[in-house]
């Protein structure tokens, strides 16, 4: 996979899930102020086994199994962060983060602005569809939070970034939401370096260079976009593919630099269309690169429906390489 290892050497190839586990393990090893709190994270090791082995190593005080109470998990983590701890909260499925919506958007996010109280905490969990999880185990709720000043929102696509960004999130002084696309957990592998490293929050990366149009994506759809880009190349269309990695704060510079070069932009996300990040990117391009655009901003997204369960429905609902390919070809004609 192009560009996934960030140029690391002497590393080993690990799954996306293993990269997340390593990040938590190493951060807990590095700093005793880091604790993990969530449902079934301890003895069971997490519903997806992302925290397997952490309880054995760090004990009952640092790996905390909770009742099914997302507001209590987020609230307690916030209180801990006020005392200098750096809690990592696991949402068993990221769908359940909305059970703590008020706690996150009103309490956690506003504290620094209102009363100078930083809340260094991470909320992470498995998100996204494509695994037939149905309407309550497939969500991409990132945009609820991208609309909330005070939060940072990360949605990585590679094991290298997942590990480096999760470490950066733990060390950040702000509340960071960290979305882990569960389709990627065991399906992709990538190299991670042997030693400690972080990936900067708020920086996108160009995964594939191109000149004819820019495809902007993130998370699982980044891989689908790369697949489409390879197909486009067969037809002589060289697409530049940008992986946003962080949605808040958004790396405008990387987006603008690319669009100034290609003059065309297609945004691909698995989130539903209305209110997705594509709309925000369209507005930014209109404000700051209107004269550079040779075609309309186009988007390939999921349908504006809940995530359906049946494989036939879900496949129809989700973007895929074919849909991206068609949209890109249409855009390239401008």
Partner 1 sequence: MKKELTRQQYLDLYYYMRLNRSVEDMMVKLFRQNKIVGGLYSSLGQEAISVGTAYALEKKDWLAPMIRNIGALLVKGVRPRDIFMQHMAKYDSPTKGKDGTSHFGDLDDLHIVSPISMLGDLIPVMTGVAMAGRYLGQKTVAMTWIGDGGSSTGVFHEGLNFAATQKAPFVLILENNLWAYSTPVRKQVPLANLADRAKAYGIDSYIVDGNNVVAMYSTAKEAVERARAGEGPILIEAKSFRRMGHAQHDPAEYVPKEMRAYWEARDPIALYEKFLTSEKLLDARDKKEIEEKINALLAKEREFAENSPMPPPEFAETGVYCTGDDCHKIRAKWERPIAEVTPPRSSVEAVWTVPGFGSGEGSRGANAPMHFGDTQAAETLPAGAGKPAGKPPAKVTPQKTVKTAPTGASRKARR
Residues recognised as catalytic: 137
CB of 24 or CB of 221, closer to partner 1? 24
User: Hey, what are 243's tokens?
Assistant: 């992986």
Longest dimension (CA), the chain: 60
β-pair type (63-65, 34-38) = parallel
Residue ranges in 153-192 that form contacts with partner 1 under rule CB under 8 A: 173-174
- Which range touches partner 1 (CB under 8 A), out of 67-75, 127-135, 184-192, 318-326? 67-75
Q: Is 98 in the site for partner 1 (CB under 8 A)?
A: no
Task: Tell me the C-alpha distance between 158 and 4, whole Å.
Answer: 6
Q: Per rule CB under 8 A, is residue 12 in the interface with partner 1?
A: no
| Cα–Cα distance for residue pair 32/34, rounded to 1 Å | 5
Least separation, in Å, of the C-beta of 7 and partner 1?
Answer: 26
Is 58 a residue that touches partner 1 (CB under 8 A)?
yes
List the one residue from 49, 112, 203, 329 that touches partner 1 (CB under 8 A): 112
Residues from 28 through 57 that contact partner 1 (CB under 8 A): 29, 32-33, 35, 42-43, 45, 55-57
107 contacts partner 1 (rule: CB under 8 A): yes
Instruction: Tell me the closest approach of the beta carbon of residue 275 to partner 1, in angstroms.
Output: 21
Answer for which of 113, 136, 316, 334 binds partner 1 (CB under 8 A) is 113
Q: What SS3 string covers 294-313?
A: CCCCEEEEECCCCCCCCHHH
For residue 92, state whether it binds partner 1 (rule: CB under 8 A): no
Dihedral sign (CA 244, 246, 250, 251): negative
Closer residue to partner 1 in complex, CB, 100/143: 100
Q: Which residues pair with 180 in a beta bridge?
A: 126
Cβ proximity to partner 1, 118 vs 296, nearer residue: 118
Q: Specify the residue, 102 or 274, whose C-beta has the smaller distance to partner 1.
A: 102
Piece of 79-87, 134-142, 255-263, 295-303 that binds partner 1 (CB under 8 A): 79-87
DSSP-derived secondary structure letter, 104: I
Tokens of 84: 């200098």
Who's near 118: CB < 8 A, 6+ residues apart? 81, 111, 112, 173, 174
**What binding mask, one character per residue, do residues 119-158 give for partner 1 by CB under 8 A, x or -?**
-x----------------------------xx-x------
3-state DSSP call for residue 245? Answer: coil
Find the shortest distance in angstroms from Cβ 17 to partner 1. Answer: 19
For 70, the token pair is: 């997302």
User: Residue 326 CB: number of other CB atoms within 10 A?
Assistant: 12
Buried b (16+ CB within 10 A) or exposed e, 167-190: bbbbbbebbbbbbbbbbbbeebbb
Please select the residue that binds partner 1; options are 3, 111, 125, 128, rule is CB under 8 A: 111
> Which neighbouring-strand residues pair with 243?
205, 217
Number of residues that bind partner 1 (CB under 8 A): 58
Please classify residue 312 by burial: count the beta carbons closer than 10 Å to its beta carbon, then call 0-12 exposed, 13-18 middle and 19+ buried. exposed
113 vs 334, beta carbon nearer partner 1: 113
Which stretch in 83-91, 153-161, 298-306, 313-321 sits in contact with partner 1 by CB under 8 A? Answer: 83-91
Q: Which of 1, 8, 110, 134 binds partner 1 (CB under 8 A)?
A: 110
Distance CA(243)–CA(219), nearest Å, equals: 8
How many Å is the Cα radius of gyration of the chain? 19
Binding site for partner 1 (CB under 8 A): 29, 32-33, 35, 42-43, 45, 55-67, 69-87, 102-103, 106-107, 110-118, 120, 149-150, 152, 173-174
């Amino acid at each position: 996979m192009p560009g996934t290892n960030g140029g690391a050497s002497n590393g080993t190839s690990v799954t996306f899930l293993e990269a997340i586990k390593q990040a938590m393990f190493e951060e807990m090893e590095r700093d005793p102020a880091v604790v993990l709190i969530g449902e079934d994270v301890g003895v069971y090791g997490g519903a997806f086994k992302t925290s397997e082995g952490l309880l054995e190593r760090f004990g009952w005080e640092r790996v905390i199994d909770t009742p099914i109470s997302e507001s209590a998990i987020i609230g307690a983590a916030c209180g801990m962060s006020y005392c200098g701890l750096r809690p990592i909260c696991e949402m068993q499925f990221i769908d359940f983060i909305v059970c703590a919506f008020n706690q996150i958007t009103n309490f956690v996010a506003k504290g620094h602005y209102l009363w100078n109280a930083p809340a260094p905490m991470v909320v992470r969990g498995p998100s996204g569809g494509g695994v037939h999880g149905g309407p309550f185990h497939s969500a991409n709720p990132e945009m609820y939070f991208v609309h909330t000043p005070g939060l940072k929102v990360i949605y990585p696509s590679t094991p290298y970034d997942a590990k480096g960004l999760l470490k950066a999130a733990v060390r950040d002084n702000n509340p960071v939401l960290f979305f882990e696309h569960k389709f990627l957990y065991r399906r992709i592998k990538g190299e991670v370096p042997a030693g400690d490293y972080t990936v900067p929050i708020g920086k996108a990366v160009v995964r594939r260079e191109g000149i004819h149009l820019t495809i902007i994506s993130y998370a699982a759809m980044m891989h689908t976009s790369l697949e489409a880009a390879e197909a486009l190349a067969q037809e002589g269309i060289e697409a530049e593919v940008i992986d946003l990695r962080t949605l808040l704060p958004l790396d405008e510079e990387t987006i603008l630099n690319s669009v100034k070069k290609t003059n065309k932009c297609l945004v691909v996300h698995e989130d539903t269309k209305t209110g997705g990040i594509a709309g925000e990117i369209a507005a930014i391009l209109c404000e700051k690169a209107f004269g550079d655009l040779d075609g309309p901003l186009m988007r390939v997204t999921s349908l504006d429906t809940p995530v359906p369960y049946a494989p036939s429905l879900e496949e129809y609902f989700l973007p895929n390489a074919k849909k991206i390919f068609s949209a890109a070809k249409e855009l390239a004609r401008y």
